[in-house]
Amino acid sequence: MKSLLRSLTLACICLNFSSVFAEPPVAPFYESLKTIKPAGKLGQIIKQEKIKTSVKGAQAWKIAYISSDLNGQKTIVTGLVVAPVGAAPKEGRPIMSWAHGTTGAAQNCGPSQVLDPVVPLNEYFLLGGNSWTDYGIPSIAEFINEGYVVVATDYQGQGGGGRHQYALAATNSMDTIDAARAASSMKETGAGKKTIIYGWSQGGAVSIAAASMPEYFAKKGTASDNLELIGTVAMAPDDIGIMIPGATDNQASAQKSLDGLIKMFSGNVFNFAHMAMSMWGVQAANPNLKLTDIFTQDGAKALDEVISNKCMHAFADTLNYNYSTQYKTLLKDQSSNALEWTKTMIRGSVNPIKPIAPVVIYWGNKDVTNPPIMGKLYQEQMCKLGGNVNRVELPGDNDHFTTPGSSKSLYLSWIKDRLAAKPATNNCVLAAQLPS
């Protein structure tokens, strides 16, 4: 009898634990990916499914393809490919690779998973928002009308299995580059090799990081070698590495840098949620890190549960409901293992390498989500390395969430100029005098 009771108790414990940390449900296209090993060439499509789109003159697919992470481990990543209908020019169609902003780290947070994903960018906070998440592809109709192929990655961990390495721009950039390789490899798209990467927020960091990854672009034996990056557009980007210079010099510097980042992004519960998910994403890339290095035991457990199951806005609302103004009680009085944390953050940030193509940054004067100082410091760093970086303050008052819409006409023109091989404006000479 005691043995039976003990067995029943253990079964209940296991059931309760698995129900708490069970992955959220995903559609059949994504569910089947859990049993597939990530083997193949970078950019190789392992599954595709044609889907409907209301974009005039377009055809679209959901895809799952092979990419890689910060540690060189191959991953399965999902996303969308959209191409014009009809014959392509002899040289192939240019590729626009979209890097989306923060949507969350759970398996159901990939923007391709909404019911009608191939639409213009639809933001949660704006009046036109109609979903629990940000989804859609900025300027999709304009790009299709111009004859471009558009590919939009979900990033690893957002539908293809594994843990999303949120805020590690290097990993997310690989996903975005390999998405372009995937689109280029599809005969149905008529895609060529010329590639533009454009992104917002988390995706803005992806854009500037991709521009400093010449070795990844140069890899051979991919699904489509020799992609030609001709420009990157970064809307309200972040760059964590640029904010913590010297953070890996020694333990004291690392501690100061880590504590400074935690404090900087803990001013309100919304930014705290982003910070917590960033730490969750950094930890996902390094088994030597623990959430309990930064958060209390109860805090780490609560955050792991919610981040694993809910997308960004639901996650932030959950924190606000359960902790309100007491959300900082989830933090330990003193973080630990700081040097390991900062080493991983730096390794996952933008490489201090001259961009291989022109970069343009658009920013708003009211952005308190990704402080514009990050873009300013990035520009100064890359200008010293000889990069071509133009940083543009948007006219009027713009915050983080109005930036994509306010910059649309500017980046459409900028992209056309790059495809026409016109010289890109470079305001590096004025960078030191520009406002932050």
pLDDT (tens digit per residue) in 345-393? 999 999 999 999 999 999 999 999 999 999 999 999 999 999 999 999 9
Which DSSP symbol is given to 310? -
What's the whole-model pTM score? 0.93
- Which of 124, 131, 125, 176 minimizes the C-alpha distance to 152? 176
Structure tokens at 54: 């209301």
- Which of 130, 132, 135 minimizes the C-alpha distance to 110? 135
All structural domains of the chain: 28-239+352-433 (3.40.50.1820), 243-346 (no CATH)
Which DSSP symbol is given to 122? B
Please tell me the predicted confidence (pLDDT) of residue 12. Answer: 39
Cβ distance 194 to 94 under 8 Å? yes
Rounded to whole angstroms, the Cα distance separating 318 from 314 reads: 6
Say which residue the tokens 């923060």 belong to: 102
Name residue 104's amino acid: G
Which DSSP symbol is given to 218? T
Name residue 312's amino acid: M
Cβ distance 284 to 163 under 8 Å? yes
Cβ distance 291 to 280 under 8 Å? yes
Please tell me the predicted confidence (pLDDT) of residue 34. Answer: 86
DSSP 351-413: -SS--SS-EEEEE-TT--SS-THHHHHHHHHHHHTT--EEEEEPSS---TTTHHHHHHHHHHH
Residues in the chain with pLDDT values less than 50: 1-20, 436
**Taking the chain, what is the end-to-end CA distance rounded to the nearest angstrom?**
71
Please tell me the predicted confidence (pLDDT) of residue 18. Answer: 35
Rounded to whole angstroms, the Cα distance separating 361 from 232 reads: 9
